[in-house]
Amino acid sequence: MQMKPRVIVTRPQKEAAAWVERLMQHGFDTASVPLIDIAPAPDLALLAQAWAQLEDFDAVMFVSGNAVTHFFANQPQGLTPPFTSAHSCPRAMVTGPGSYAALVALGAASQAIDAPALDGGQFDSETLWKQVRSQVRPGFRVLIVRGDSGDQGSSTQGVGRDWFAQQVVGAGGQCAFVVAYQRLAPVWSLQEKNSIMAAASDGSFWLLSSTEALGNLIASLPEQNWSNAKAVATHPKISKAALAAGFGTVLESRPLIQEVIASIESSL
């Protein structure tokens, strides 16, 4: 019986935990190597202003689970919680199950959240837009809660929220943005770098869920040859970026644990 390969989960530390646990339950040797570190927003005054103006918006779009948790971490005391009923205004909009679960855990009603079908497996701004475009009309106002990094162009989340904003504006709506957290490149010790370099050619599968994370990996090891490296990419844009970075094997899977596992096992 062929041994299962190691899987390297590259999501931020908090998000990676559930993936690591599920993969280990399915018999995979699994390691967590976060390629993005999460830090608080640089300007908390802007977050306070967004909370003060929340009722001026028809919808709040969260780009990630981190956007949800960091936005709510700055909720003013005594303020009535938003998104508590089907008739709440503003409504919440999310692109995937992580953000959806984060909202529900904080008290949001499922009827107040617009999201792609949670069993559909396609979690991006395009799929969300199909769900909500009928709501957007001239004057419709959306607050987009996002993260910030030094290179906005490198993130699939960044591209996605820009694309979503363009659709809203194109339909006659208006968009405002607020930064709820920062995405930072990780800093590794020499020992950690050596371990990561070894994983580029030892048969491990890198589970890639962000082009920004992939960019951090490549920038941190500019001399590394990735031609023997293997990856599972959870979006076509990430797959294309991994191939461009020189990964020798790139599988593509929807971001569902069973499909990621099936993708890896089918390649063995």
Share of the chain above pLDDT 70, in %: 94
Q: What is the structure's pLDDT at 179?
A: 94
What pLDDT, in 10s, does the model give residues 170-195? 999 999 999 999 999 999 999 999 99
- The SS3 call for residue 8 is strand
Report in angstroms the alpha-carbon separations of 81 from 16, 71, 103, 122. Answer: 28, 12, 11, 29
- The SS3 call for residue 9 is strand
Interatomic CA distance for residues 161 and 153, integer angstroms: 11
Q: Which token pair is 24?
A: 């280990």
CATH of domain 39-184: 3.40.50.10090
Interatomic CA distance for residues 7 and 24, integer angstroms: 9
Which residue matches tokens 């190691």? 6
Which residues, other chains included, contact 31 with Cβ-Cβ below 8 Å and sequence gap of 6+?
A: 6, 7, 8, 9, 20, 199, 204
CATH of domain 7-36+187-266: 3.40.50.10090
DSSP string, 131-155: HHTTT--TT-EEEEEEEE-S-GGG-
Task: Decide if pLDDT at 66 tops 60.
Answer: yes
Interatomic CA distance for residues 244 and 239, integer angstroms: 9
Q: What is the structure's pLDDT at 256?
A: 86
9: left (phi over 0), alpha (psi -120 to 50) or beta: beta
Task: Decide if pLDDT at 15 tops 80.
Answer: yes
Stronger pLDDT, 156 or 6, i.e. the higher one = 6
Q: What is the structure's pLDDT at 161?
A: 67
Report in angstroms the alpha-carbon separations of 117 from 73, 95, 96, 123, 124. Answer: 27, 10, 8, 8, 11
Average of per-residue pLDDT values in the chain: 91
Stated pTM of the model: 0.85
Share of the chain above pLDDT 90, in %: 82
Would the CATH topology of 7-36+187-266 be identical to that of 39-184? yes
Q: What share of the chain is helix, strand, coil (3-state, %, to 5)?
A: 40, 20, 40
- The SS3 call for residue 106 is coil
One-letter identity of residue 154: S
What pLDDT, in 10s, does the model give residues 101-144? 999 999 999 999 999 987 766 788 999 999 999 999 999 999 99
Beta bridge partners of residue 177, listed in sequence order: 144
What pLDDT, in 10s, does the model give residues 216-233? 999 999 999 999 999 999
Q: Which token pair is 170?
A: 């194109």
Q: Where are the domains of the chain?
A: 7-36+187-266, 39-184
Task: Decide if pLDDT at 153 tops 50.
Answer: no
Which residues, other chains included, contact 19 with Cβ-Cβ below 8 Å and sequence gap of 6+?
A: 9, 11, 30, 207, 257
Interatomic CA distance for residues 49 and 102, integer angstroms: 22
